[in-house]
Structure 1
């Protein structure tokens, strides 16, 4: 009864509390003009997993690993804020706050709402976590931010909306991150880590605060963001750390007792303030008072800060010009804005990050490549899950297979974006926990997808998800004489997809949704794959066919095993090749690939359409990971890449090759060693060359840690330039041994030139461009003229002393090292048209077709339901430059739609043009009944959004983008623009929902 009364009181008082809102900039404490105002920002940094799992951090378990319990931090801080209206506190990680909030009484919730409404408890950043910026894809970055911002909006309203982005711990910063934050409506962005040389340069020039132009395509100031580098990372000044985890002396202010130190602390504080003022431009300074998991006993911090404020401010009566106050990042930002200065402009990104000579944090671009691939595949699966939840409506969540759920995978994916998750910089048991969470999310989404497919197909099938197809494992297809292959395409344009299905027969017949026979071929499972699958594979061969899948829809193909025994063409053609001793090559209608007769390595690629021939050699090498040397004791580890020398060692100088040559596919198997192999593959009609590599277990019996690269050598004159993507979106130019705005003293000629490659890297001369697409984030570079290299795997023997406390060994089965299989896609084309191909293919790889199997013979979903073998939720294909970034159920009443122009300004003669679409006329499954355009994070209406305007040193203040009146019949997107809509839907009847192509 008491709980029910509390709930009623909470619901009754909530509207009145909302009316009393005085948050935001108007809630900021008063400062003193003419004085040096020091804004103390009480904060805690709570890693969403690192040395301990998320659950262990929340509850405070495993104190033998680390003393850290997030629930106690919030339990301790809130009473301190409630007792004193001058105190402030900021909180960041919504993944933790969400858990804590669910456990609170209604009375405590009302108190917290009051603190938020008064600006005394301020949320900054607002994402589910503080995501990494080097190994993350923009799609997942947006999703995790949206998840956190949505919770804050629903719980606290406008006062819960963060004004400031706060990335104090990620290991380097991407320009795309700044762009996304700006598009989410943030007024400012504060970072903690900056390359030590860059920071010294900025301090000397008083450029610690600047305007970051996050996009070269979007109209300023749509992607411009005020950015500040914090003075001390995110830690308090020396000798002023007053947490239970610290060892500094408290403020002892009783002169009659031993240890009185007020004068010493005040003097130290003033010295820090004056020193900091020399490198910042205004009479306002920010100091971070807190660190990792601080404030479990908040009284320690606040009691000492109370004394610090009192005694420092008391010096004003003696002529001191320093004023100290409790504050927040947004209040500090507001004071900088009121200073009305012009600020320097930065347009590059802030990679790579080094915290000292020989200490480049570029190893984590590749660390834990297996998890990096799992995270990328999980995002693909989540988007499919989100889309089908919307397309099938409530029937996806309640259906014949149980309760479907997308939220489990959404939260697991959001946690995986943390800067110690997908980065690969966590302890092994924590990495295992991240993977476990993703697996649970997959299980929940598989139920939802099964419900949705049954509804849309009109047939209750036994749907089977084979998640090990990359190593030819699928028991259903390997043991069945008949089965269905259901292919779902999450893109808004039709695709042709190469299907490979593990089987055990010799001859099969494949029919498409219209009952027409489809050409297919059988190839044997390679020995490489047999070794990797370790006995899991029941299949002896793979069935290959090409499928056509409509936009935002599915196609169902039937496969029947025929009782015909004949010699496979594959073996016959292999014998023919050997008998004639033909020079080794593979070819389709677009590309020809030649191999050196002595080494077995690729020697040349020809683009037959463009009449381009490029000599090229591709091989695998390994860098000897440093354990420390005379120059520095720094070892290579999970964070840091430091090879023991600039020259890598070839795994093999010549390889054993094996040719498989068919009508649909041609493959050359290359065996480099017992732990490194590759398949060079060309499908019919394919405009790129596929390299499927398998690396591991990396041997360490020789006591050498190894960092494995795939290296490409060409005669292209590249002049030290190469190009990488920023989080899967815009392309950035890189120059060897150089930084755009400061002079680099290069101490690591290899690691210091590595950059994150989230989806692609390329080199070019005036005419020819060679592009490599990746299937996960990796570190990459061009260290020699005409060369490219990508780090695919690493196994190390030493910790790099950055806190994780264990080497990156990654044991697989039977105590051996981890085996990693991945794909690189090579494009060779003219510079002018390369973007047309690699942009679209990168998106097709990222939003890959999802394959689901069924033995067939299911029962009707409803009485008289017709079996629909093909379906599209769109009335027609959208233009190639338009991407449906998001189609997801936001809540019970609204759906989130994001449309994206996926080409940069001036990038493509064909596609870098504005595009207009009719939002009302896109979908066949439902009708849109209302539309609101939102900011990127979907927590503010676009028309009512007003960001702080800043002036740069190179031009006057950029005009505030004006939101034109929304016309859903003509939604125009400019290059690189993302437009976000919250819509309500009306579903059509079942007969009109099933649209057959």
Structure 2
């Protein structure tokens, strides 16, 4: 558990400086440990290069997946080598030993989750040795997050958290020399613009990756644009989100013939001239030829070679012995006029040479999705793979943010209270692991997916204790709290059996939220009272047949109780529920399809003959569109195809046909009318059903879908979608979010920065949808808000489709060696998945005002906890941690305890420039007037990842080929306590509090 103090005033601050800073409101403390001597790490540790030669930067590295074919534990210890030979602890042991033998050698390490675990097991003398290697730049950390996150299926808030966790450990352990200068995403399967924006705001000087579309790479090689300047935001003023980006030449592998790990088959360098198999001349000639060929597709006289691969350097002696010889013998050719200079290097040393070259660089403003490595091999299936795990990861993030907030608001009593010792760290680490590019992506083996879920569950159990302690401290009630994690399938033993109970709803958003509470019950009539004792409208309705089928033996409630709560910002409200003896009977469903359902905001129409949606109207704006929705499946390719033998799998989406099969052209329906909600329950087949819900006070329509077990009796894998066909005139454009933040415009069969030769008309038009997507014309915008990351596209004008579930019978030959055919103990015949989609219809100028807060509400959902019987009369039933709600444009992204006396706060402007007439303006927040229970004593601003002071963050500046070199104007604020946020800006503060 990381508990080292980040701020130690007594030992590290002059008394006068502390006093001056205290009164100015600033925190004076430096970051990381201080050492007696001046380190020579980072850019100062780089080997000299030759200006008149081709300099080849050899980068010894290992790529250590934080779970993939084996679990995190199995990879660390080297267990289950029958699956894959890999043991991270031995890699680090071996590398340190070999670095000590030659001061010229270099090594980079990436995944802090593994290094942290290894570090805890080392002796104090070994730790001192490693610190010396780090301070001398011989061992360098790159990227430095807890893992190397996926870029398609991760939400930006979780990416920031996992980067902060890893970088904080490096900062506290190694100080300045532990801070990575370079972001390094060599393995993720496509690259998101928002990731580049975040890396820039975290202070990285550059970014390197290995995978991009084969057509894109071919063009960039021809034009020498494999190194570029990525302008990763349309809202943030350049160069705030500008990031130099380099595409590595061999993915992340060594050049052909130059792999010297125990898993490699290439011959070693045999340099005894008396032996018959002496091969130095051959090695040198082949290497020089490869280097010269590589230099033809890059811009400068510096090239980089990644000398390593997956889990390599377990026997580092093999690599370094041969690399030492390679450098010696190639450089010896310089005496005879050779023009190649080889050196041990790191990505940051290579980057420094590119910066010194003072060139101009191609400018890119779009992203690198979708990724294909061959004409029929689009890596767009993993956008949806393992949809249940994707949802569980999103719920776990919501639980973690609530846990973090309540740890702050409840104070020290949260960690040690009436319910025992709780902690947030376990869930922080589990969530950080889940961001790995073979975790939430769904591209791991089944037993590894189970392990990720187990870690999240264990973390949430530890957080539940903390949450209970905090709510006890804030409410004054020590009554036992129950958490029901299966409410989505109407399972909660307490509410099913109890005649009287209370429900506490905690809202993690910094604005009030109206939230529908849906609880499984067995009674017929109930009375619900809010925190002020006032009766609340409620409704009892029967549990649907599809819910009974999906929950199986986990619960037996006959009915559901519905009511709305008004939850205060960053706070809770408590409602009491009592069973009535003589209340009115619950509503019975009608077997007829209604022609329409409506509230004061929306009207939803249905085709009475088919039971399908037929239209949507916004009654406030007087908009109306035709809207039909249905469910389909694509036949997954088994590889037996005239064009290619590529099957669909965990990574790759490859339908056998461009026309999906309709599951049913009509739905059996029943409808329920009530004061809280109107429902139309649709059954399309034994394995696909949906509930269309319209709540009395909501401006959006809710669709709850249930899919599975996907039938495979016909020996066909299926990729299940829902499709919305509308009267909106889209002209082949649609829009998706990037990691939950900025929206990107997509166009069918088109890439903004290169001419596409489309070979897969469906898979090649799929993009990641992390939280929302929309289609629009001049009059209407239909926004779809999803409850997890999914893949989707607009294949036809006016249409938007989203992939919901995948069940496949073949492996796609990308390494996982297992078909994506999910089952479980509860569903041995195939996994059933349930999810939600929200639909919003608005005029385009107003749409963002609706869909941005809506998406945040889905990501950060209220947490429900329950207590049996009557609460003590002195119990506090309502609480807000804020003095007032934050402005609509401002989102409270992070509130977490940093150490005993300080906390970390991130505030985010959640609108893009020009997106909203009202909310796309700068907003000022007074930090001293934010919190209701915290007294702020000092404030300092940090970079996005909280490992540098903001005013000390200096990055390389780069010039795009356009010639412009923008300079960011500093914004002068009136007071240290006032924070002004401009569109899409996230600001991070370290607050000293009492």
SS for the counterpart of 1:616 is: strand
In the alignment, which residue of structure 1 is the partner of 2:952?
Answer: 944
Instruction: Give, in angstroms, the shift of residue 963 of structure 1.
Output: 7.0
Please, what TM-score do these two structures have when normalized by structure 1? Answer: 0.95
1:270-289 alignment, distance < 5 Å:
270-289=288-307
1:851-878 deviation digits (Å, cap 9, x = unpaired): 1111144669xxxxx4210001111111
In the alignment, which residue of structure 1 is the partner of 2:926?
Answer: 918
In the alignment, which residue of structure 2 is the partner of 1:103?
Answer: 121
Q: Distance in 2 between matches of 1:16 and 1:962?
A: 30
1:629-654 deviation digits (Å, cap 9, x = unpaired): 11000000000000001000000011
Q: Distance in 2 between matches of 1:16 and 1:649?
A: 65
What is the count of residue pairs matched by the alignment? 963
Choose 884-893 or 917-926, whichever is displaced more: 884-893
Q: Distance in 1 between matches of 2:972 and 2:271?
A: 60
In the alignment, which residue of structure 2 is the partner of 1:148?
Answer: 166
In the alignment, which residue of structure 1 is the partner of 2:981?
Answer: 973
Q: Distance in 2 between matches of 1:92 and 1:889?
A: 26
In the alignment, which residue of structure 1 is the partner of 2:648?
Answer: 636
In the alignment, which residue of structure 1 is the partner of 2:731?
Answer: 719
In the alignment, which residue of structure 2 is the partner of 1:251?
Answer: 269
- Out of 630, 634, 644, the residue aligned to residue 623 of structure 1 is 634
Are the equivalent residues in 1 in contact too, given 2:593–2:671 (CA < 8 A)?
no
Instruction: Give, in angstroms, the shift of residue 393 of structure 1.
Output: 1.1
1:8-55 deviation digits (Å, cap 9, x = unpaired): xxx99x977453311111111111111110000000000000000000
Are the equivalent residues in 2 in contact too, given 1:887–1:896 (CA < 8 A)?
yes
Q: Distance in 2 between matches of 1:392 and 1:604?
A: 47
Instruction: Give, in angstroms, the shift of residue 763 of structure 1.
Output: 0.6
Mapped pair 1:677 → 2:677:
no
1:317-337 deviation digits (Å, cap 9, x = unpaired): 111110000000000000000
1:841-880 alignment, distance < 5 Å:
841-857=854-870, 866-880=874-888
- Out of 811, 825, 828, the residue aligned to residue 815 of structure 1 is 828
Instruction: Give, in angstroms, the shift of residue 482 of structure 1.
Output: 0.3
SS for the counterpart of 1:393 is: helix
- Out of 901, 924, 947, the residue aligned to residue 893 of structure 1 is 901
Q: Distance in 1 between matches of 2:33 and 2:758?
A: 59
Instruction: Give, in angstroms, the shift of residue 480 of structure 1.
Output: 0.2
- Out of 114, 124, 136, the residue aligned to residue 132 of structure 2 is 114
SS for the counterpart of 1:257 is: coil
In the alignment, which residue of structure 2 is the partner of 1:598?
Answer: 609
Q: Distance in 2 between matches of 1:745 and 1:274?
A: 30
Q: Distance in 2 between matches of 1:520 and 1:892?
A: 43
Instruction: Give, in angstroms, the shift of residue 586 of structure 1.
Output: 1.1
Q: Distance in 2 between matches of 1:387 and 1:858?
A: 24
1:527-542 alignment, distance < 5 Å:
527-542=545-560
Are the equivalent residues in 2 in contact too, given 1:461–1:856 (CA < 8 A)?
no
Are the equivalent residues in 1 in contact too, given 2:537–2:675 (CA < 8 A)?
no
Are the equivalent residues in 1 in contact too, given 2:500–2:870 (CA < 8 A)?
no
In the alignment, which residue of structure 2 is the partner of 1:381?
Answer: 399
In the alignment, which residue of structure 2 is the partner of 1:668?
Answer: 680
- Out of 461, 485, 490, the residue aligned to residue 508 of structure 2 is 490
- Out of 712, 717, 722, the residue aligned to residue 700 of structure 1 is 712
Q: Distance in 2 between matches of 1:894 and 1:200?
A: 50
Are the equivalent residues in 2 in contact too, given 1:949–1:960 (CA < 8 A)?
no
Instruction: Give, in angstroms, the shift of residue 984 of structure 1.
Output: 1.3
SS for the counterpart of 1:926 is: coil
Please, what TM-score do these two structures have when normalized by structure 2? Answer: 0.96
1:228-247 alignment, distance < 5 Å:
228-247=246-265
1:472-483 alignment, distance < 5 Å:
472-483=490-501
In the alignment, which residue of structure 1 is the partner of 2:581?
Answer: 563
In the alignment, which residue of structure 1 is the partner of 2:23?
Answer: none
Are the equivalent residues in 2 in contact too, given 1:213–1:346 (CA < 8 A)?
yes
Q: Distance in 2 between matches of 1:351 and 1:16?
A: 43
SS for the counterpart of 2:272 is: coil
Q: Which runs of 4+ in 1 moved over 6 A?
A: none
In the alignment, which residue of structure 2 is the partner of 1:84?
Answer: 102
Instruction: Give, in angstroms, the shift of residue 535 of structure 1.
Output: 2.3
Choose 639-648 or 540-549, whichever is displaced more: 540-549
Q: Distance in 1 between matches of 2:827 and 2:937?
A: 57
Are the equivalent residues in 1 in contact too, given 2:237–2:968 (CA < 8 A)?
no
SS for the counterpart of 2:84 is: coil
Choose 920-929 or 382-391, whichever is displaced more: 920-929
Q: Distance in 2 between matches of 1:15 and 1:204?
A: 47
Unaligned runs of 5+ in 2: 1-10, 13-31
SS for the counterpart of 2:547 is: helix
Unaligned runs of 5+ in 1: 1-10, 861-865, 987-997
SS for the counterpart of 1:815 is: coil
Q: Distance in 2 between matches of 1:64 and 1:702?
A: 33
Q: Distance in 2 between matches of 1:16 and 1:555?
A: 47
- The 3 A distance-change label for structure 1 pair 963 and 90 is farther
Instruction: Give, in angstroms, the shift of residue 955 of structure 1.
Output: 3.1
Q: Distance in 2 between matches of 1:417 and 1:428?
A: 17
In the alignment, which residue of structure 2 is the partner of 1:833?
Answer: 846
Mapped pair 1:609 → 2:617:
no
- The 3 A distance-change label for structure 1 pair 582 and 852 is closer
Q: Distance in 2 between matches of 1:369 and 1:936?
A: 29
